[in-house]
Amino acid sequence: MRVLGIETSCDETGVAIYDSEAGLLGDALYSQIAVHAEYGGVVPELASRDHVRKLLPLVNEVLQQAGMQGSELDAVAYTAGPGLIGALMVGASTGRAMALAWGIPAIGVHHMEGHLLAPMLEEQPPAFPFVALLVSGGHTQLVQVDGIGEYTLLGESLDDAAGEAFDKAAKMIGLNYPGGPEVARLAAQGDQSRFRFPRPMTDRPGLDFSFSGLKTFTLNTANDLRVEGELSDKDRCDIAAAFENAVVDTLAIKCRRALQQTGFKQLIIAGGVSANQRLRDRLEAMVKKERAALFYARPRFCTDNGAMIAYAGCQRLMAGQSSDLSIQCQPRWPMDTLPSIAL
């Protein structure tokens, strides 16, 4: 089955074609970072308009990569939520309309399920069951995954998501949006031992997270060091290192607990923050001690992309699921309400 995947939930227009036999046949991505950078974050109205501009050219591009006509596709998968409603509606209505024109089924895909399944696109995919750490700009969740659509939420952030915390910390030390990669870049040059930032909620049992205290701590540290409103380059790097270290440690402690609690021996990490090298290194060390294995997607498929939507949609379509002609997007959509594909 060959599925066109469309991702437009936030600030990336992603399109890909996934073939259940041959794997990825085409994959194109347009990032709107430049559009939003001057505002310091995503402006929803601008995001929707930019998706409108880019989506069809990208569809053409991936069809060319795959050497196919649209009419040769078997189905269309589009992100139906969670995300920005205007942005979601662009991908959903375009995807649904193309499927109608080509006389093929379409399916609305859950964005976080897309992230969660992205490591399946790699050469050595994990096998069910596993523990998943989903760390993106909007979500931080630990999930027990027994199969596709068999999700048990083990813990989640009570306030900011990990990616959001990275973005806010970046802003505090004068870095551009999106802050995660920028903080990581500076952190690599920073002195990790200069500051000790808190590891929130690690001193009590449970698998929930909270990053707002860490955010305040970061702000206070930065403010104490400012001279005439400015931070030195060294201070910025050292703060970035301390912040990244604290987030990574916190995530690693909870991941270890989740492995111990479930008895599972496989951990997958997915979502934008899973591209973070220090997180990958820390978790590699942790799973080794737990005699478990770590899985993640290549960096391009950690952040938003069309391939993960094509893949997730394909799995559900092959199980006989599809969405009807009325387009329904859900800006908020708990992942544990998804049906199992075994049903």
Q: Would you tell me which residues interact with ligand KG4 (CB under 6 A)?
A: 10, 115, 136-138, 163-164, 166-167, 178-181, 184, 271-273, 275-276, 303-304
107 dihedral zone (left: phi>0; alpha: psi -120 to 50; beta): beta
- Whichever of 138 and 149 has its CB closer to ligand KG4, that residue is 138
Going by C-alpha positions, the residue among 215, 207, 74 that lies closest to residue 144 is: 207
Which uninterrupted H or E stretch holds 236?
A: helix 233-262
Minimum CB distance to ligand KG4, residue 258 (Å): 20
Q: How far apart are CA 268 and CA 173, in angstroms?
A: 31
Asked if 262 interacts with Zn ion (CB under 5 A), we say no
- Whichever of 264 and 296 has its CB closer to ligand KG4, that residue is 296
| Residue 138 contact partner, candidates ligand KG4, Zn ion, none, CB within 5 to 8 A by sort of partner | ligand KG4
Minimum CB distance to ligand KG4, residue 72 (Å): 30
Q: How far apart are CA 119 and CA 313, in angstroms?
A: 15
Which uninterrupted H or E stretch holds 25?
A: strand 23-31
- Whichever of 136 and 157 has its CB closer to Zn ion, that residue is 136
Which uninterrupted H or E stretch holds 297?
A: none
- Whichever of 84 and 172 has its CB closer to Zn ion, that residue is 84
Candidates 23-31, 136-144, 219-227, 248-256; binding stretch for Zn ion (CB under 5 A): 136-144
Asked if 113 interacts with Zn ion (CB under 5 A), we say no
DSSP label at 301?
G
CB atoms within 10 A of CB 158: 13
Q: Using the CB atoms, write b or e for 75-91: b if 16+ within 10 Å.
A: bbbbbbbbbbbbbbbbb
Candidates 53-61, 64-72, 148-156, 302-310; binding stretch for Zn ion (CB under 5 A): 302-310
Asked if 304 interacts with Zn ion (CB under 5 A), we say yes
The residues, any chain, with a CB within 8 Å of residue 181's CB and separated by 6 or more, are 275
| Residue 86 contact partner, candidates Zn ion, ligand KG4, none, CB within 5 to 8 A by sort of partner | none
Minimum CB distance to ligand KG4, residue 280 (Å): 10
| Residue 166 contact partner, candidates Zn ion, ligand KG4, none, CB within 5 to 8 A by sort of partner | ligand KG4
Q: How far apart are CA 129 and CA 58, in angstroms?
A: 35
The residues, any chain, with a CB within 8 Å of residue 324's CB and separated by 6 or more, are none
- Whichever of 98 and 237 has its CB closer to ligand KG4, that residue is 237
| Residue 180 contact partner, candidates Zn ion, ligand KG4, none, CB within 5 to 8 A by sort of partner | ligand KG4
Minimum CB distance to ligand KG4, residue 33 (Å): 10
CB atoms within 10 A of CB 148: 20
Minimum CB distance to Zn ion, residue 339 (Å): 21
Looking at the DSSP bridge assignments, the partners of residue 19 are 2, 23
Asked if 305 interacts with Zn ion (CB under 5 A), we say no
- Whichever of 262 and 305 has its CB closer to ligand KG4, that residue is 305
- Binder to Zn ion among 8, 13, 32, 136 (CB under 5 A)? 136
Going by C-alpha positions, the residue among 160, 156, 155, 158 that lies closest to residue 172 is: 160
Asked if 94 interacts with Zn ion (CB under 5 A), we say no
Can you tell me whether residue 158 is helix, strand or coil? coil
- Whichever of 66 and 175 has its CB closer to ligand KG4, that residue is 175
Which residues sit at the interface with Zn ion, rule CB under 5 A? 136, 304
